[in-house]
Chain A
Amino acid sequence: MTKILVLAEHDNNSLSSATLSVIKAAEMLGDDIDLILTTSNISSLETEILTLSSINKVHVFEDKIFENEIAENIVDCLIAVSDDYDFFLASSSTSGKNIMPRFAGLMDIQQISEVIEIVDGSTFKKPIYAGACIATVKTEQSKNVLTIRTTSFDKTTADGGSPEFIKQDIPTKNSNKPTFVKNELTVSDRPELTSADIVVSGGRGMQNSDNFKLLDGIATKLNAAIGASRAAVDSGFAPNDYQVGQTGKSVAPNLYVAVGISGAIQHLAGMKDSKTIVAINKDEEAPIFKVADYGLVADLFEALPELESKL
């Protein structure tokens, strides 16, 4: 029987919505699914985990060393419970990307990254070349590590379960690791970019960071998250965690509004699975119009205020 271990991603307060999609992917591999939770404080996460109907067991590693994410610490825990499992899953968030290949390396497993479809228990689809191609790959390994592109999977149902919590001892073997110094996290009242229903993104066409704020009013009216192209982030119009694309975040909202974004393949890689795409750009030849359901060729400095007033 296939046994699957899912890495619970969280901020020590609430579970990341990405984990709900990873569990959904796990359900396609089998129904014996356990969770591994490394946290500095389980209390606020416990109630949420209790709602997850498809989880059997939760391996709990609770210690203040998990206040910040140090890959080495989490990988030691994964190794400690790895014996029983056939699959190890996490999302392809920056956490999953940081942690899972390290674990796979120590387990001598070749990881499969950014899985978008589970064909069967050994066959998976994943984008390559910035999504220009989709590869179907088959593993010959008995144990496998997958990171899941969460925009390709729904969220699991969370209407009540009865997972058993198993308290585990903290492994202490690894001492050669970095130390946390500080973080600067973006604080926002808006929905989270990767799980928002609507995303409004700005590109180089926004010209500067003051103009970039023109997106705020529209985002507020639509209850949307704000995203950015690489060009906009590189130019300092928006922080790095706004970046949508091959090297930033993948999003697939119901509505994606691309403003002043030309549509480089690296940007399209992160948003072309959106249900409806709107592009506003004054260059009617911009490649973004090739993927847009609705294109508006217009000067964004005229179109944006008008759009805001009409929403």
Chain B
Amino acid sequence: MKILIPIKRVNDYNVKVRPNQANTDVDLSNVKMAVNPFCEIALEEAIRLKEAGKATEIIAVSVGDEKNQEQLRTALALGADRAILVKTDESLQPLDVSKVLVKVFERELPNLVIMGKVGIDGDHNQTGQMFSALTNLPQITFASKVELNGDSIEVTREIDGGLETLSSNLPAVITTDLRLNEPRYASLPNIMKAKRKPLEEFTVEELGVEVKNTITTLKVESPPEREEGVKVDNVDDLVDKLKNEVKVI
């Protein structure tokens, strides 16, 4: 039972990202980078399945430049057995990333692919669904609970109205929501051990994916600022303002 975990390198979620001076992109110089939180949750779920004796091998894969090695080493320190970096200096859009992941899937033939539902940078929420479409594997998005029983899975999903449970045969694709688990931290001995775990590298071209990048970013701006409001003294004051000043109640 092999599990493939795509890992995205993004800004640390505590950092507020701002546009660059030319307003052509965001300014990521000097911004602390990390594993996308939803990918961490995906990896944690795989590690738990392995610890429960239900999975044998976890492969982490990233698509991006050389710096993605850092996030793959983090994944290896957390519990992935080996890693694959598919290199490109371009910033790929979800459709192209999914095509790269399809190539990796075809080489590795994992039984399960677990990935974050969204990258906290582009806020696309697309790659898992596109990958599932292109591999024709069952698609289960926004998982908050995963139960693996032999060749099948039962997954609870977070949807707008509440919760929904789906079941599926393997192989399948799961995307993770926030409450699936709480990821662990890497221990120092594991960080040291991770340096010796295998990290294979390919280029996007070697895998035969033609990058399309059909969407161009023209401008990146800060959203309009809200004017800072006023402090009210007490509940009476608040009720009065809501009734008589903005008349919303």
Chain A residues engaging chain B, CB cutoff 8 angstroms: 11, 68-72, 75, 92-95, 97-106, 108-114, 123, 126-141, 174, 176-186, 194, 198, 222, 230, 233-234, 239-241, 246-247, 249, 254-255, 265-266, 272, 275-278, 284, 289-298, 303, 306-307, 310-311
CA A277 to CA B141, docked complex, whole Å: 32
A294 touches B215 (CB 8 A): no
Instruction: Say whether chain B's binding surface is mostly helix, strand, loop, or mixed.
Output: mixed
CB neighbours of B131 from chain A (8 A): 105
CA A187 to CA B31, docked complex, whole Å: 43
CB neighbours of A72 from chain B (8 A): 138-139
Give min CB distance, A248 to chain B, whole Å: 9
A179 touches B94 (CB 8 A): no
Question: With A137-B217, A249-B160 as given contacts, are A303 and B235 in contact (CB-CB < 8 Å)?
Answer: yes
Q: Which residue of chain B lies nearest to A290 when distances are taken between CB atoms in the complex?
A: B228
Q: Which residue of chain B lies nearest to A279 when distances are taken between CB atoms in the complex?
A: B229
A293 touches B167 (CB 8 A): no
Chain B 122-138 near chain A by CB (<8 Å), digits 1 or 0: 11111111111110111
Give min CB distance, A67 to chain B, whole Å: 12
CA A112 to CA B159, docked complex, whole Å: 21
Kindly identify which residue among B142, B165, B218, B221 contacts A98, using a CB–CB cutoff of 8 Å.
Answer: B142
A275 touches B164 (CB 8 A): no
Kindly identify which residue among A111, A133, A177, A198 contacts B126, using a CB–CB cutoff of 8 Å.
Answer: A111
B104 at the interface (CB under 8 A from A): no
Kindly identify which residue among B17, B159, B217 contacts A132, using a CB–CB cutoff of 8 Å.
Answer: B17
Closest 4 CB pairs of A and B: A105-B130, A105-B133, A101-B129, A293-B229
CA A134 to CA B160, docked complex, whole Å: 24
Instruction: Say whether chain A's binding surface is mostly helix, strand, loop, or mixed.
Output: mixed
Give min CB distance, A207 to chain B, whole Å: 19
CB neighbours of A183 from chain B (8 A): 159, 161-165
B230 touches A133 (CB 8 A): no
Give min CB distance, B97 to chain A, whole Å: 10
CA A94 to CA B241, docked complex, whole Å: 36
CB neighbours of A254 from chain B (8 A): 248
Q: List 30 A-B contacts (CB under 8 A).
A: A71-B129, A97-B142, A100-B129, A103-B133, A129-B121, A130-B123, A133-B17, A133-B18, A133-B222, A135-B217, A135-B219, A138-B218, A139-B214, A178-B140, A180-B165, A180-B166, A181-B166, A183-B162, A185-B162, A233-B179, A239-B162, A240-B162, A241-B160, A247-B118, A289-B231, A293-B229, A294-B230, A295-B231, A295-B232, A297-B231
CA A220 to CA B239, docked complex, whole Å: 16
Give min CB distance, B165 to chain A, whole Å: 4
Kindly identify which residue among B118, B122, B220, B231 contacts A134, using a CB–CB cutoff of 8 Å.
Answer: B220
A97 touches B94 (CB 8 A): no
Give min CB distance, A164 to chain B, whole Å: 30
CB neighbours of B117 from chain A (8 A): 247
Give min CB distance, A149 to chain B, whole Å: 10
Question: With A186-B161, A296-B235 as given contacts, are A110 and B93 in contact (CB-CB < 8 Å)?
Answer: yes
A272 touches B226 (CB 8 A): yes
CB neighbours of A307 from chain B (8 A): 235, 238-239
Q: Which residues in window 196-225 of B have CB below 8 A to A?
A: 212-223
Question: With A93-B160, A276-B246 as given contacts, are A176 and B133 in contact (CB-CB < 8 Å)?
Answer: no
B120 at the interface (CB under 8 A from A): yes
CA A290 to CA B130, docked complex, whole Å: 38
